[in-house]
C-alpha cells in the first residue's frame, strides 16, 4: 500500500487544480491541444473521451493532455491507448505494449503495439470520442501514424468520432521524398500510399487517411504554424519520442541512416552514424560528400571493426533525410558486395516493407547509381504530391485557426481492408476536407485615419423570411479583380471589396470601376504585414491610416468600413505584440478594438469562407464545395473570398457560387456602415 501512496497524493492534487486554461505562451506556435482548450473546448464538453497518447502528449506549457482532461470537470476521461513504446515511451521497439489499469487514474490503458494494433470493440465501448495526441517524426515508417490510421478504421466501424490534436512535422512540410508504398507492400510501417518523407503533420495525415476511411473526423490545427517551419523554429522543447529518438539530431538522421533493414548497413549512436563491418570509411565519405547532398557533411569514422560516416547536419532546412538514406545505401553497395533481402509470395521482407516496394532492392542489386534510384520513383512521388495537396492545412503565412477542420461522412466510402499483411483495396475517390474559416488570408487591416464618426445606426435586420448574402473580397486590387467585377456585372450582383493600400498604385482604375458599378469599398490596411500591424496600437492605426489615404487619393472618398487582418478575434496578434506593453491578459487586440470604437470605425467579420486563404494551390471546385458545406439556412451570411493576384480559382468559381446562393434564396447587398449586425458575424 505504501508504494502507491505518492500516486494517490498526486491524484488528489491534480483533482484540486482548477480546470483547463494555460499560462502565458512563449512558444512561436500553439499546438492543437492548446487550441482545443483555448478555442474549441465545447467540442468535448459532456463527452466520454478516450485518448491515444504517450509521453509526447504535452501542450506548449509542458502540461500533459492527460492532466488537462483529468482537471476538466466537463469531460470524462474513460480510457487511454498507448502506441509502440508504451505510455511512457520507454518500451523497446518490437516489444509488446501491454494493457493495464492505471494505478493513479484508475482507468484502462490499452496497448496498441504487438498482437493488438487496432482498437477492439471492447476497447472503444465506453467512449464517445477518440482523441489522438502524438508527436510524429515525419517518417512513414514511424508507427505512431500507423496507430492513428488503425484507430480511425476501428472508430469508423464502431461509430465513434475521432479528433486529432495537430503537432508539427519536425522536418517541416516542404521535403517530400522517397519511394511511395505500393499496395502489395503495405504493412504496419506503410499503411497508405505515402513516401518515406511525407512532409505532412499528423493532422494533415488524418485528413489524407480519411479519404478511404470515412470516419467522423475533426482536426484541431495549430496556431502560428507555417509549412516551411522545422521543429527548431517552433520554440517547443523536444520530448524524446521513443528510446532511440532522444533529440532532434536523431529525428533528422532517422531516415538518412536507418533504411538498411536486413542488410549489413546499419545505424549507430541514435541515427547519427551509418556504416558496416569492413567498410572503408574514407572512400564512403568521399562518395557521399562528392554527391553534394544539401545541408550535410559526412565525417569518416570507424566504430571498432566497422567503417562508416558520422552525419554533420549543418542546414536542417535544406537537408533531405530520405534522399540521403538512398544515397547512403547505394554508395555502400558500390563499395561492398552484400545481398539485398527479397520478398517471396509467402512473406514480404522487412527491407521491402521499409521501402514500400521491391524495386529499390532490385535496383541496388543491379548496381544502379543513387541518382538512377531516385529517378525511378520520381513519377510516383509527383502523383503523391498532387494527391496530398487537397489535405494540407498550412501554407506560407502563420496559420490562424478560426474553426476546427471537420469531415462528417453520411455514407460509407470505399474502405481498404486493414491487416498487417493484407493487400488493401483500391482507394476511394478522395473526399475534400472542410477547411477552417481561417483568418490567415494574407491579413486584413483597416484604415487608420479617423473617418467621419458614424451616426448611431438603426439596426436594419432582415425580415424573418429574408435571407441576405454579403459577398466580400479581400487583399486586392489585382489583375483578378476585373474578372470578379465582370462576373458580378453579368449576374447583376453587388459586393464589397476590402482594399490593401500597397496594392492601389497602378490599379486606381479598378478602384474607380468598383465604385462606379455600385459596389462598396472598405479598408484592409496598407502593409498587410501582421508583424508591423500588431506590434502596438499606434503602429496599427498608422498603417491603417496610410491605407485609407491611398484609397482616398484614388477615388476621392475615404472608406467607412474596414476589416481587421485575420478578423476581430484573431490570435496571431499575440505572437507579434510588444511584450513590454501587452500580455495575454491585456492584449494589443483589446487596445486596438477599444481605440477603434472610440474613433467610430466599423469593422466587418465573416461567417462563411470559400477556403482560398489556406493556400494558393486550390481549385474552383474546392472553393465552391467549401461554400456549399458552410451555407445552411443562415438568415445573413458574410462570405470571405480573395481577389489578390494568386486567387484566379476564386474568380473562376464565382458564377457557380452566385447561382448556388440564389438557389438557396439569398439576395445580395453591399456592406454599409449603417448595417451593424454584419460586423458581429464570424
Active site residues: 474, 642
**Residue 34 contacts by C-beta under 8 Å, 6 or more apart in sequence?**
22, 25, 59, 60, 61, 223
Residue closest to 561 by CA, chosen among 485, 641, 472, 640: 472
| Residue 128 burial (CB count, 10 A) | 16
Contact criterion met (CB below 8 Å) for 34 and 167: no
What's the CA gap between 214 and 409, in Å, rounded?
6
Phi then psi dihedrals of residue 382, to 5 deg = -65, -40
Query: Any alpha helices (H) in 316-393, and if so which ranges?
Result: 321-335, 350-355, 359-365, 370-376, 378-388
Residue closest to 432 by CA, chosen among 408, 415, 463, 450: 408
What's the CA gap between 660 and 33, in Å, rounded?
36
Residue closest to 86 by CA, chosen among 62, 114, 64, 66: 114
The set of cell numbers assigned to 255 is 531516415
Please count the CA atoms within 13 angstroms of the CA of 595 that sit on its side-chain side. Answer: 19
Nearest-10 crossing angle of helices 202-209, 144-158:
40
Buried b or exposed e, range 154-181, using 16+ CB within 10 angstroms: bbbbbebbbbbbbbbbbbbbebbbbbbb
Q: For Cα atoms 626, 227, 152, give the angle at the middle one, nearest 5 degrees.
A: 60
CA 444 to chain centre: 22
* Burial (Cβ within 10 Å: 0-12, 13-18, ≥19) of residue 633: exposed
Contact criterion met (CB below 8 Å) for 184 and 350: no
- For residue 362, the 8-state DSSP code is H
**Structural element, H or E, at residue 109:** strand 108-111
| Residue 105 burial (CB count, 10 A) | 18
Residue entry with cell 487586440: 589
- For residue 61, the 8-state DSSP code is T
| DSSP secondary structure letters along 482-523 | HHHHHHHHHTT---EEEE-GGG-TT-HHHHHHHHHTT-EEEE
First to last CA, the chain: 55
Is beta strand 296-303 parallel, antiparallel or unpaired with respect to 405-407?
unpaired
Residue closest to 432 by CA, chosen among 397, 395, 399, 387: 387
Largest Cα–Cα separation, the chain: 86
What's the CA gap between 250 and 269, in Å, rounded?
9
* Burial (Cβ within 10 Å: 0-12, 13-18, ≥19) of residue 305: exposed
Amino acid at each position: 500500500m505504501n508504494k502507491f501512496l505518492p500516486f494517490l497524493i498526486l491524484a488528489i492534487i491534480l483533482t484540486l487544480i482548477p480546470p483547463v486554461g494555460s499560462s502565458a505562451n512563449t512558444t512561436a506556435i500553439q499546438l492543437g491541444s492548446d487550441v482545443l482548450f483555448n478555442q474549441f473546448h465545447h467540442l468535448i464538453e459532456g463527452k466520454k473521451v478516450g485518448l491515444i497518447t504517450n509521453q509526447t502528449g504535452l501542450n506548449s506549457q509542458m502540461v500533459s493532455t492527460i492532466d488537462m482532461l483529468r482537471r476538466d470537470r466537463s469531460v470524462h476521461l474513460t480510457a487511454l491507448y498507448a502506441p509502440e513504446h508504451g505510455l511512457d515511451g520507454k518500451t523497446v521497439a518490437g516489444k509488446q505494449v501491454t494493457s493495464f489499469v492505471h494505478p493513479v487514474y484508475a482507468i484502462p490503458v490499452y496497448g496498441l503495439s504487438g498482437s493488438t494494433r487496432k482498437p477492439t470493440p471492447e476497447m472503444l465501448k465506453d467512449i464517445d470520442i477518440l482523441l489522438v495526441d502524438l508527436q510524429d517524426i515525419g517518417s512513414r515508417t514511424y508507427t505512431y501514424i500507423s496507430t492513428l490510421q488503425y484507430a480511425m478504421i476501428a472508430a469508423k466501424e464502431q461509430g465513434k468520432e475521432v479528433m486529432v490534436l495537430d503537432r508539427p512535422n519536425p522536418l517541416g512540410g516542404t521535403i517530400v521524398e522517397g519511394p511511395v508504398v505500393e499496395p502489395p507492400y503495405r504493412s504496419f510501417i506503410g499503411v497508405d500510399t505515402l513516401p518515406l518523407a511525407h512532409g505532412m503533420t499528423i493532422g494533415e495525415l488524418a485528413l489524407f487517411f480519411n479519404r478511404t476511411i470515412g470516419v467522423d473526423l475533426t482536426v484541431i490545427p495549430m496556431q502560428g504554424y507555417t509549412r516551411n517551419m522545422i521543429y527548431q523554429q517552433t520554440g517547443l522543447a523536444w520530448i524524446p519520442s521513443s528510446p532511440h529518438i532522444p533529440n532532434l539530431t536523431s529525428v533528422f538522421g532517422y531516415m538518412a541512416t536507418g533504411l538498411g533493414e536486413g542488410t549489413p548497413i546499419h545505424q549507430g549512436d541514435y541515427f547519427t552514424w551509418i556504416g558496416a563491418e569492413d567498410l572503408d570509411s574514407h572512400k564512403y565519405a568521399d562518395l557521399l560528400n562528392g554527391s553534394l547532398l544539401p545541408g550535410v557533411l559526412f565525417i569518416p569514422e570507424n566504430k571498432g571493426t566497422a567503417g562508416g560516416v558520422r552525419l554533420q547536419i549543418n542546414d536542417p532546412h535544406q537537408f533531405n533525410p530520405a534522399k540521403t538514406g538512398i544515397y547512403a545505401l547505394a554508395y555502400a553497395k558500390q563499395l561492398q558486395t552484400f545481398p539485398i533481402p527479397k520478398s517471396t509470395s509467402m512473406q514480404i521482407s522487412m527491407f521491402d516493407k521499409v521501402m514500400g516496394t521491391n524495386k529499390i532492392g532490385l535496383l541496388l542489386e543491379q548496381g544502379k547509381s543513387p541518382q538512377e534510384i531516385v529517378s525511378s520513383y520520381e513519377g510516383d512521388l509527383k502523383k503523391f504530391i498532387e494527391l496530398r495537396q487537397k489535405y494540407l492545412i498550412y501554407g506560407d503565412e502563420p496559420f490562424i485557426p478560426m474553426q476546427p477542420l471537420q469531415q462528417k461522412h453520411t455514407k460509407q466510402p470505399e474502405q481498404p481492408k486493414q491487416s498487417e499483411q493484407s493487400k488493401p483495396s483500391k482507394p476511394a475517390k478522395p473526399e475534400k476536407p472542410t477547411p477552417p474559416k481561417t483568418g490567415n488570408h494574407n491579413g486584413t487591416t483597416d484604415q487608420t485615419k479617423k473617418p467621419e464618426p458614424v451616426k448611431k445606426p438603426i439596426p436594419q435586420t432582415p425580415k424573418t423570411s429574408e435571407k441576405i448574402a454579403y459577398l466580400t473580397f479581400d487583399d486586392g486590387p489585382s489583375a483578378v479583380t476585373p474578372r470578379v467585377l465582370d462576373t458580378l456585372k453579368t449576374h447583376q450582383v453587388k459586393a464589397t471589396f476590402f482594399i490593401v493600400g500597397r496594392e492601389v498604385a497602378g490599379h486606381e482604375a479598378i478602384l474607380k470601376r468598383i465604385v462606379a458599378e455600385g459596389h462598396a469599398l472598405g479598408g484592409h490596411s496598407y502593409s498587410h504585414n501582421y508583424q508591423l500591424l500588431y506590434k502596438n496600437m499606434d503602429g496599427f492605426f498608422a498603417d491603417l491610416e496610410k491605407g485609407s489615404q491611398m484609397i482616398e487619393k484614388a477615388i476621392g472618398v475615404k472608406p467607412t468600413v474596414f476589416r481587421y487582418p485575420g478578423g476581430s478575434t484573431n490570435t496571431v496578434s499575440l505572437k507579434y505584440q510588444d511584450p513590454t506593453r501587452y500580455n495575454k491578459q491585456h492584449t494589443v487586440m483589446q487596445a486596438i478594438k477599444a481605440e477603434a470604437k472610440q474613433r467610430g470605425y466599423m469593422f466587418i467579420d465573416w461567417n462563411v469562407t470559400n477556403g482560398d486563404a489556406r493556400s494558393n494551390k486550390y481549385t474552383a471546385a474546392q472553393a465552391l464545395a467549401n461554400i456549399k458545406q458552410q451555407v445552411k439556412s443562415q438568415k445573413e451570411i458574410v462570405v470571405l473570398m480573395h481577389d489578390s493576384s494568386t486567387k484566379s480559382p476564386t474568380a473562376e468559381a464565382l458564377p457557380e457560387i452566385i447561382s448556388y446562393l440564389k438557389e438557396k434564396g439569398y439576395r445580395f447587398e453591399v456592406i454599409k456602415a449603417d448595417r451593424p449586425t454584419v460586423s458581429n458575424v464570424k
